[in-house]
Amino acid sequence: MGDYMLLSDLQSKDIINIKDGNNLGRIVDAKIDNVGKIIYFVAEQRKLLKKVTRSGDITFNFEKIKKIGEDVILVDL
């Protein structure tokens, strides 16, 4: 994909937690600060997932992403 990736590219990939193999869903949003830096991504909630924020969304930052593949994003949550 070159030297950059669009948010829409990330939104088409399933998010897999490498600790337990759970499919956490897909990215649906991102929180961005006033200078354009992504603070964290927001993923849709899966019914079987127990670790969610108060709003029911799963959030993670770039440091939690271990690998971005063709079809999946591997995260360590």
- SS3 per residue for 18-64: CCCCCEEEEEEEEEECCCCCEEEEEECCCCCCCCCCCCCCEEECHHH
What proportion of the chain, given as a percentage, has pLDDT over 70?
Answer: 82
38 within some domain = yes
Give pTM, 2 decimals: 0.78
pLDDT confidence bin for 53, thresholds 50/70/90 = very low
pLDDT confidence bin for 2, thresholds 50/70/90 = low
51 within some domain = yes
What's the total number of domains in the chain? 1
The strand pairing partners of 36, in sequence order, are: none
Identify the CATH number of the domain in which residue 42 sits: 2.30.30.240
Full domain range(s) for residue 46: 7-75
Q: According to the model, what pLDDT value does residue 46 have?
A: 59
